[in-house]
Amino acid sequence: MRSPFLTPKISTMKKTLISLLALLLVAQISRAIDQSYYVTIDNTQGTMLRDNLYSITIAGPQNMSYKKLWEAYKTTDVYPADSAVKAGKIWDMYSNVLYTPGLGQCGTYSDVGSCYNREHSLPKSWFDEGQPAYYDMGHIVPTDGYVNNQRSNYIFGECANGTRLVNGKYHGKGKLGASTFAGFSISDPVFEPDDEYKGDFARMYMYMIVRYKKGNKDGITFTSGHGSDMFNSSDTNFGFTNYSVALLMKWHRLDPVSVKEINRNNGMQKVQGNRNPFIDYPILAEYLWGTKANDIFLFVNAVASFDPAFIPGVSDGAASQEEALEEIPVSRAAQIIIENGQLLILREGAVYSVTGARIR
């Protein structure tokens, strides 16, 4: 999810303002680890880089179960305290419904707003419900049950005139329709999440293909049913199809790591003992599937999301962020306001906290 308040082609004064905002942002983020967690990936490339990431991520999920996800969501997937009426409510990426943690768990559902459940963003039928992937919160998020049912086990993609579910004031975030993703022919419907969460889901898939790489100790593969459109049984593209590389890298770049993801990643480590490397070091995706493929990864060339220089919603994880600041579109221009002694951000008629949470 992009940060809502950064401006384009900016003057020195505005750049200073952005720097101050960035400092305010990072002050709100709980820094759970340091670079030493990833020491084994420094000065590696290609297959060795991927394999070392696998060795790091197999630390989890520890002491986890499908049932324990309900309890975990109470801290890992709720809106922050400064989010006004949303504070403490379930952060649902499939609908605008504000569920109370522990209440409204599915259960049965008849429409948007009935209840929330545990969505395998990478459908469980693709890996035959194998454990521990079945309860790995690296890809399982709380979502509206009715929208989850609409998504079913269809692959992620892009569609022009898909169906978005609506129930009065409640509506789905995402739509189901015919694929329009250029260069690839997909016969079945695809589910397109809203733009603000596309990067989140892309990085979940990157985590999963590293944690459960070909030959993983748990014997998990992702190619059953529709999964074969996004994953391959060989180690080509480190397990992704060409379609997945094109789609997920696009989403990863257009929707950079957000405060929401950083905080959830910290919570995931506490719950199940591992982290998503592509949230901590988003530039890693480029070294496996992008512009830096087969280059040697060096920490000196990367900025972690737990580093003060990282700007949630803007930084791509490269050591130099000047270019990223210069490329922020004009439509995202914003202004700072103070209301009741609280620093807020006003952009395009909406009001946000300094952590990027929409207040109204």
Q: Where are the alpha helices (DSSP H) in the chain?
A: 12-28, 46-57, 68-76, 145-151, 195-211, 242-254, 259-272, 277-280, 284-289, 322-326
Let me know if 216 is exposed, middle or buried by CB neighbors in 10 A (0-12, 13-18, 19+). Answer: middle
Closest-CA residue to 228 (of 119, 155, 290, 288): 155
* Count of beta carbons in the 10 Å neighbourhood of residue 87: 14
Res. 309: pLDDT tops 80: yes
Res. 23: pLDDT tops 80: no
Looking at residue 24, what is its pLDDT? Answer: 44
Q: What is the band of 33 on the pLDDT scale with cuts at 50, 70, 90?
A: confident
- Are residues 273 and 59 in contact, defined by beta-carbon separation less than 8 angstroms? yes
Sign of the alpha-carbon torsion through 232, 233, 236, 237: positive
In the chain, count H helices and then E strands. 10, 9
Looking at residue 353, what is its pLDDT? Answer: 61
Res. 119: pLDDT tops 70: yes
Looking at residue 35, what is its pLDDT? Answer: 83
161-190 residue pLDDT tens: 999 999 999 999 999 999 999 999 999 999
| Identity of the amino acid at 190 | V
Closest-CA residue to 304 (of 287, 323, 273, 279): 279
236-283 residue pLDDT tens: 999 999 999 999 999 999 999 999 999 999 999 999 999 999 999 999
Res. 284: pLDDT tops 50: yes
Looking at residue 126, what is its pLDDT? Answer: 98
Mean model confidence pLDDT for the chain = 87
Beta bridge partners of 336: 345
State the DSSP code for 163: B
Looking at residue 83, what is its pLDDT? Answer: 85
Looking at residue 341, what is its pLDDT? Answer: 56
Looking at residue 339, what is its pLDDT? Answer: 63
Sign of the alpha-carbon torsion through 30, 36, 40, 41: positive
Domain boundaries, the chain: 61-255
Q: What is the band of 10 on the pLDDT scale with cuts at 50, 70, 90?
A: very low
Decide which of 340 and 15 is more confident: 340
Looking at residue 213, what is its pLDDT? Answer: 98
| Angle subtended at Cα 182 by Cα 176 and Cα 184, rounded to the nearest 5 degrees | 80
- pTM value? 0.84
Question: Which run of H or of E encompasses 273?
Answer: none
| DSSP letter for each residue of 23-67 | HHHHHHS-----GGGGGGGTTB-HHHHHHHHHHHHTT-S-S--TT
Beta bridge partners of 156: 191
Over the range 71-84, which residues count as b (16 or more CB within 10 Å of their CB) and which as e?
A: ebbeebbbbbebbe
Share of the chain above pLDDT 90, in %: 76
Res. 360: pLDDT tops 80: no
Sign of the alpha-carbon torsion through 16, 20, 22, 26: positive
Q: Which three-class secondary structure state does DSSP give residue 316?
A: coil
56-107 residue pLDDT tens: 999 999 889 999 999 999 999 999 998 888 999 999 999 999 999 999 999 9
